Amino acid sequence: MPPTYFYVVLRRSLGFWIGLRLLLLVVVLGIVSGGGASAIDVTGALASPGTSMSMIPATVGLLLFDARTAGEDLLLANFGYSRTQVALRAVILPAIGEALVLLTMAGR
Amino acid sequence: MARQFGERKVLTAATVHVHPGRITLLMGRNGCGKSTLLKLIVGTVRSDFGTVHFNQRMYLRPQLHLLARRGLFYIPERGLPSRYLTLEQNLSMSRVPVNDPRMQQILHDLALGHLLSSFGTQLSGGERRLTDIALCMLKQPLCLLADEPFQGMAPIDGERIARALHTLRDNGTAILVTGHEVNALFEVADEVVWMTGGTTHLLGSVAQARANDQFRREYLGGRDPAGTR
């Protein structure tokens, strides 16, 4: 894959991952504040921000969808690059991010 | 190849051959299945049956990235450049540096040099079409499938595309183009295939196509192919 597009994929995947993480945080905070008012058990919700591995496939899925809507799938395919190759590169930064989150949680 | 969408049989038995160093023109009325046939060939739409033979290999379920690795290039009707990338980033897919003499020549020939920092969304339809051709010329494919390359082009840009197609052909690329711009297409084509009734008919050279009464009656609509009534 050309270096230029590799950096584009890395930048986008990091952006989507941070975006999804922030979204999750907002959802969890919403559940926690709602739970406090209605006495719902929020133990699971409090634990989820640090342990949600679904963030990685969600990030990759979003990135592939975004690339498709931007018309990049055919552009890449014309130069011999498959979606799998893009997905493999898109997984790098979210995986590192999740690993760091896990390590941080484990260190508490 | 064949393809049915619901009850509608778009293609029943369509066959097309392209040859190195020749431009084959695929013509037919709107909705007859020209674009669908190209999509079936490159695998963006699955065929009901049919095979693709390319560069000594047969593909039952063709995929564009696999065909591309063997030397195919496909220009869809909507064009190739990504909306989120600059022209320079789009062209970098070819791995040819922007300061390479070949890149510079192509940018000059297609009048794209001043647009390198423009994003895909900022390019006009014609500029996107020229970018498609630039990408193709940078790749130097064995076979080019171009869906309506002259659509909406200003005459001068149409001439640029025609010159690019001739250059590719002279370098041995097998080219299949579709479209309705009769004058421009007849000028570049070496042979004409007519698609009608879900199947294809090889009409022969442009002169032979011009002389075909049924083609003139059912497709050209009485218009003289030279552009005069």
Q: What is the mean pLDDT of residues A61-67?
A: 90
Q: CA-based angle B48:B49:B51, to the nearest 5? A: 135
CA-CA distance, B69 to A107, in Å (whole number)? 47
Of A70, A75, A82, the CB nearest to B93: A75
Choose, out of B75, B82, B88, B122, the residue to mutate when testing the contact with A (most A CBs < 10 Å): B82
Find the farthest-apart pair of alpha carbons in chain A and give their distance in angstroms, rounded: 56
**What pLDDT shows up at residue B228?**
44
The span from the first CA to the last CA of chain B, in angstroms, equals: 36
What are the two backbone dihedrals, phi and then psi, of residue B116, each rounded to the nearest 5 degrees?
-55, -35
Binned at pLDDT 50, 70 and 90, residue A51 comes out as low
pTM over 0.90: no
Q: Is the pLDDT of residue A46 over 60?
A: no
Q: Are A93 and A17 in contact (CB under 8 A)?
A: yes
At B126-137, the pLDDT tens digits run 999 999 999 999
Residues of A in contact with B63 (CB under 8 A): 77, 82
Partner A contacted by B54 (CB < 8 A): no
Quote the mean pLDDT of chain A: 81
User: What is the least distance, in Å, from the CA of A2 to any CA of chain B?
Assistant: 6
CA-CA distance, B116 to B129, in Å (whole number)? 15
Q: Is the pLDDT of residue A43 over 80?
A: no
Binned at pLDDT 50, 70 and 90, residue A53 comes out as confident
For B198-229, letters b (16+ CB in 10 Å) and e give bebbebeebeebbebeebbeebeeeeebeeee
Q: What is the mean pLDDT of residues A47-54?
A: 62
Any residues with CB less than 8 A from the CB of B47 and at least 6 apart, and which?
A: B1, B2, B3, B40
Residues of A in contact with B84 (CB under 8 A): 8, 70, 72
Partner A contacted by B103 (CB < 8 A): no
| Residue percentage of chain A with pLDDT more than 90 | 16
Closest Cα in chain B to A8: B85
Does A75 or A101 have the greater pLDDT score? A75
- Amino acid A73 reads D
Neighbours of B140 (CB within 10 A): 16
- Amino acid B173 reads T
For chain A, positions 64-93, list CB contacts with chain B under 8 A.
Answer: 67, 70-72, 74-82
Successive 10-residue mean pLDDT values, chain B, 229 residues: 90 94 94 93 93 93 94 93 91 90 93 92 91 95 95 90 95 95 92 93 93 90 54
